[in-house]
Amino acid sequence: MQGWGVALLPAVPAPLSVLGAALLVGGSVRRQTSAHILQVIEMQKSEDRARSGKK
């Protein structure tokens, strides 16, 4: 029974590393999406300023 626990021990970090990788990728994607949304908002504001200046 003791050998079974020792054999299982190396398998424990694998799910943790997968979870860590998923969190890293998720955070990176969220950051990139936020940056893109901010750029789109800034472009829209710039277009609005340009249009209001032409009137």
Nearest Cα to 35, choosing from 47, 43, 46? 43
Q: Is residue 9 part of a domain?
A: no
Give residue 5's pLDDT.
72
Q: Is residue 22 part of a domain?
A: yes
- Which domain, by its residues, includes 39? 14-54
pTM attached to this predicted model: 0.62
For the cut 70, the answer to whether the pLDDT of residue 2 exceeds it is no
Q: Is residue 1 part of a domain?
A: no
Q: Is residue 2 part of a domain?
A: no
Per the structure, the count of domains in the chain is 1
Q: Is residue 43 part of a domain?
A: yes
* pLDDT interval class at 8 (50, 70, 90): confident
Q: What is the chain's percent helix, strand, coil content, to nearest 5? A: 95, 0, 5
CA distances from 25 to 22, 33, 46 (A): 5, 12, 31
Summarised one tens digit per residue, pLDDT across range 20-55 is 999 999 999 999 999 999 999 999 999 999 999 865
